[in-house]
Amino acid sequence: MTRTEQERWAVKYLAANLSHEEIVDGERSITIQAFADFFAAQWPRTFNKMAFAAKIRAVEQLVLQDMASKKDPSVQMFDRLFTLPRR
């Protein structure tokens, strides 16, 4: 994997698997910092830990927006069943 692919995978993985609170406070998150330290050891001159945490927050926001825009089909079915008819 290239550097970009490794970072992209890590960002997606962390955004999908960490709690919202841990992502919001990413600079203090042990998990995010462990990944950031690993990447910083591989690329000491060009890797920015703060930018890495910011990328995770940005991807998490996209995931949350995507989830909010999609409704579960079963919920949509029950919404129609229990909606009162208009007069």
Q: What is the pLDDT of residues 32-80, one digit of tens each?
A: 999 999 999 999 999 999 999 999 999 988 877 776 676 666 656 655 5
Q: What is the pLDDT of residues 2-20, one digit of tens each?
A: 999 999 999 999 988 998 8
Evaluate whether 34 touches 22 at the Cβ level (below 8 Å): no
Element (H, E) at 31: helix 30-42
DSSP letter assigned to residue 85:
P
Q: Report domain extents, the chain.
A: 3-81
Full-model pTM: 0.71
